[in-house]
Amino acid sequence: MLPFLRGETTLLEPLWRNNHLTQFYKKTTPISQMASVAEQVVFRYPRMKILEVGVGTSAATGAILDRIDRSYHSYTYTDISPGFFEDARNLFKDHSDRFIYKVLDIEKSPKEQGFVEHSYDMIVAANVLHATRSLQETTARVRTLLKPGGYLLLMEGTNTDVLHTGFVFSGFKGWWFGEKEGRVWGPMQTAGTWDRMLKAVGFSGVDTITPDHDKGLRPFSVLLSQAVDAKIQLLRQPYISACAVPRHGDLFIIGGATCATSALVIKLEEILTHVFRRIVRSQTLESLELHNLTSMATVLNLADLDRSCFKDINEQQLEALKSLVNASQKLLWVTAGSEAENPYHSGFLACMGYENPYSQFQYLNIVDLDAEKVSTIATALLRMADADFDNDYGLSDRVWTTEPELRLENGVMKISRMKNDPSMNKRYMSNRRSIHAHANLQRSNIRVMKPGDTHELFIETRKPEQDASWTRVQVSYSTSTALKVEGAGFLHLVIGLEEKTQVPVLALSEHHMSVVSTPSHWCWALPKHVPETRGEAVYLGGIAAALLAVNLVSMASPNTAILVHEADDALRSAISAHASATGIRPYFSTSKREQHHPKGSTIFLHEMSSTRVLEDLLPADVSVAARFDQGSPNRVFGRLESLLPSIVRRETLDRASSLVVTRCDVHKAAVSFNMARELAHGSTMQGPTIKTVNIQELPGSSASIDHGIQIVDWTRADEVPVKVQPASSHVILSAHKTYLLVGMTGDIGRSVCQLSSGGPSGWRD
């Protein structure tokens, strides 16, 4: 504040430099409501050419693009100087093919600055028009840029009773630009003033205001107005517009067979009699006198309000319907009630539009049977009749279309659109080919699986266990493979934060995910001496190595030897330490020349070694042989194993995915794991280097124990590449529920039942 008071800087510069202004706009202005209104307009017109005046902080631009995505033709990004353009190019780089950057001073003629008049479909102005010397002249210049029917989306201060807005912005030079125009207390204008001013320069006035400041002390509002000419004004209010002589030819009204529809027809005829030269009534399709039908007539069909025309349709009705469609230039077909109960008509009209391209057909469904029908039907019919132009979805010269389907529900008129849904499209195509997307680790639970030779990441869709005896852990580090835990099977080791207390814990998990649910007796508090980040990965690697060592040594017979092939430094260190304490002699072998170990501690096995050489190298009294090169093409250790007696145990101590035994011995598993923890404590932090792999780099890799103990780091990524799964993968049978399978009595059906029930061919995840 002091540099501003000394005249050394403007108040705007420090606010802009420290990002305070952007945060103020995001937190105190209705930007999200503005984006919502823009989304509704773009929903109807997804090919709009949009121009934003005075983008400033780009807060409104970003919010709007988040809602409309790429449902627009072009977005012209303007400001009084190009100073913001470079940052905007980086911020909106995903939209670079549709963004146009141009300098625009809205206090000068846009045409003289290279802008084409009446070339935009929507103009966005967020807190910018008030900072001009003449608000009405500025609004008139904006109008010259819009096509007839185009929209002006404004966010402006409309509550002049709120003082804190002026306190914040009164130090800005632009706040006082309107002083000579009479805005001596500030530039804010009420919604009523905006309505009068917009109407004076060729707009419809304030069509919508969001939020209405009368409901609270909100200084800002979002205003929506439409650029109008004589034609657009007529289409907006067709039967209110003055009509000295009928402006349309013949109107055929079909309906009135019941008392309710008869009264409706009479009221409609009173309104429409001054608009159409002749009105012909027919109670039903069958009673329609075909010779009275004139070519290119306007038809209003209310017969469906009496009974469904397409339910049990007969030949006479079908012939009458054909003649009606062929003679119609404009046809409005009205129904009432739920379409689910009467689903016969909308598809017919959609097809007719393709077969009769020179005619217009509109289907209007009034869901609420008690809704006001007269004004709704009259407005829809006259808009069709007055729209003397074909639908141009490119919006060449005006922003208006005659919708093929309308639905009035709870007082809101709705239209239908087929919208692109990338997530559904990807799920559908994932049945045919591999499709990947990006998922946020904070918003999604990510599962690691190895369906083939490489790892893949998936978004977990199953609900976690809700049992109070289970603990949820947000994983920071995990083992890349599942390790054997005596009494439990193959489990993953993880370190992370307990979800409720945020206390670091070490846990065993049946699943390899970013958030795991595991029994509470499989969780242990992390020792305080373990440092965060890298220290936790080293500690987990040491625990993993110790667990493998404990399991391997426990399998050996007393006073015998164990032979371990391709163990990394961490495994060798842990096995040697535990074996020496139990009287077991460890031997290590390798087929890799680059392995550097102390002389005599490693047996080198050349892949071309003869059987006699291998027999000479084989240690005596081996009771357990374990290998950690399951993925290696080198088969020399397999030949060595064949020379061992049959009583020697061959062990695999890891696997790509977890596997919990049917009868899990919780006590035995806890004893085995606690022994591994004791072995690791005190030596892990000074032990060999542990390999870590970023979770982002895991997909596509074949990380396994033959590459050494690898720890997956979940902390260094916000987004990860995940493989999209088809919708059928979301259907997961529960072991705690009963399912009824109908019509599956054949061989395939019986096999499915057997598989699901975990029979001889069953499986467990």
* Residues 573-616: tens digit of each pLDDT: 888 888 888 889 999 988 887 655 555 568 888 888 898 998 88
Pair of tokens at residue 275 = 């608009």
Pair of tokens at residue 34 = 């503005």
In this structure, is residue 499 part of a structural domain? yes
| 17 and 36 share one domain | yes
| 598 and 474 share one domain | no
* Residues 421-438: tens digit of each pLDDT: 888 898 889 888 889 989
In this structure, is residue 728 part of a structural domain? no
State the average pLDDT over residues 78-105: 93
Choose one of 178, 203, 228: the last residue of a domain.
Answer: 228
CB 286 within 8 A of CB 316: yes
Give 385's pLDDT tier (boundaries 50, 70, 90). Answer: very high
* Residues 269-320: tens digit of each pLDDT: 998 998 998 898 988 888 877 666 777 789 999 988 888 888 888 888 888 8
Q: What is the pLDDT of residue 241?
A: 61
List the single range of 211-215, 277-281, 392-396, 517-521 with lowest mean pLDDT. Answer: 211-215
Q: What is the CATH number of the domain that holds 715?
A: 3.90.180.10
| 531 and 548 share one domain | no
* Residues 3-61: tens digit of each pLDDT: 555 565 555 565 555 565 566 666 667 888 999 999 999 999 999 999 999 988 888 99
| 570 and 509 share one domain | no
Q: What is the pLDDT of residue 372?
A: 81
Does the structure show a pLDDT above 80 at 685? Answer: no
> What is the percentage of the chain residues whose pLDDT exceeds 70?
82
Distance CA 485, CA 673 (A): 7
In this structure, is residue 39 part of a structural domain? yes
Dihedral sign computed on CA atoms, order 339, 345, 348, 353: negative
Q: What is the CATH number of the domain that holds 172?
A: 3.40.50.150
* Residues 548-570: tens digit of each pLDDT: 888 888 889 999 999 988 888 88
The CB density around residue 439, as the number of other CB atoms within 10 Å, is: 19
In this structure, is residue 423 part of a structural domain? no
State the average pLDDT over residues 97-120: 96
Distance CA 233, CA 238 (A): 8
| 445 and 401 share one domain | no
| 586 and 715 share one domain | no
271 compared with 349, residue with greater pLDDT: 271
Q: What is the pLDDT of residue 631?
A: 56
Q: What is the pLDDT of residue 670?
A: 76
* Residues 170-226: tens digit of each pLDDT: 556 666 565 667 676 667 788 999 999 999 999 999 999 987 655 556 778 999 999
In the chain, the N- to C-terminal Cα span, in Å, equals 64
Q: What is the pLDDT of residue 686?
A: 46
Give 488's pLDDT tier (boundaries 50, 70, 90). Answer: confident
| 295 and 315 share one domain | yes
Q: What is the pLDDT of residue 13?
A: 60
Omega prior to 586 cis, within 30 of 0: no
> What is the percentage of the chain residues whose pLDDT exceeds 90?
34
Q: What is the CATH number of the domain that holds 301?
A: 3.40.50.2300
* Residues 732-759: tens digit of each pLDDT: 666 677 877 777 778 877 777 776 665 4
| 528 and 549 share one domain | no
Structural domain boundaries, residue 507: 436-543+675-723
| 447 and 528 share one domain | yes
Q: Hey, which of 152-166, 279-293, 616-630, 648-662 has the most confident mean pLDDT?
A: 616-630
182 compared with 501, residue with greater pLDDT: 501
Choose one of 642, 664, 686: the last residue of a domain.
Answer: 664
List the single range of 50-59, 139-148, 477-486, 752-761 with lowest mean pLDDT. Answer: 752-761
| 679 and 586 share one domain | no
| 184 and 65 share one domain | yes
Q: What is the pLDDT of residue 339?
A: 80
State the average pLDDT over residues 141-155: 97
In this structure, is residue 411 part of a structural domain? yes
Choose one of 228, 257, 284: the last residue of a domain.
Answer: 228
Q: What is the pLDDT of residue 565?
A: 87
Q: What is the pLDDT of residue 683?
A: 53
Q: What is the pLDDT of residue 218?
A: 72
Q: What is the pLDDT of residue 520?
A: 87
Q: What is the pLDDT of residue 519?
A: 87
State the average pLDDT over residues 232-236: 93
Q: What is the pLDDT of residue 684?
A: 44
Distance CA 261, CA 297 (A): 22
Does the structure show a pLDDT above 70 at 494? Answer: yes
Mean pLDDT of the chain: 83
Q: What are the residues whose beta carbons fall under 8 Å from the beta carbon of 332, sequence distance 6 or more?
A: 299, 300, 301, 362, 364, 377, 380, 381, 384
b/e sequence 495-524, b meaning 16+ C-beta within 10 Å: bbbbeeeeebbbbbbbbbbbbbbbbeebbe
In this structure, is residue 744 part of a structural domain? yes
State the average pLDDT over residues 483-500: 88
Q: What is the CATH number of the domain that holds 612?
A: 3.40.50.720
| 117 and 219 share one domain | yes
| Total structural domains within the chain | 5
**Cα–Cα nearest to 475, from 297, 649, 695:** 695
Name the amino acid, one letter, at 494.
Answer: V
In this structure, is residue 78 part of a structural domain? yes
State the average pLDDT over residues 682-705: 68
Q: What is the pLDDT of residue 761?
A: 38
Q: Is 306 exposed, middle or buried (0-12, 13-18, 19+ CB in 10 A)?
A: middle
In this structure, is residue 123 part of a structural domain? yes
**Summary count for the chain: helices (H), strands (E):** 21, 33
Q: What is the pLDDT of residue 572?
A: 85
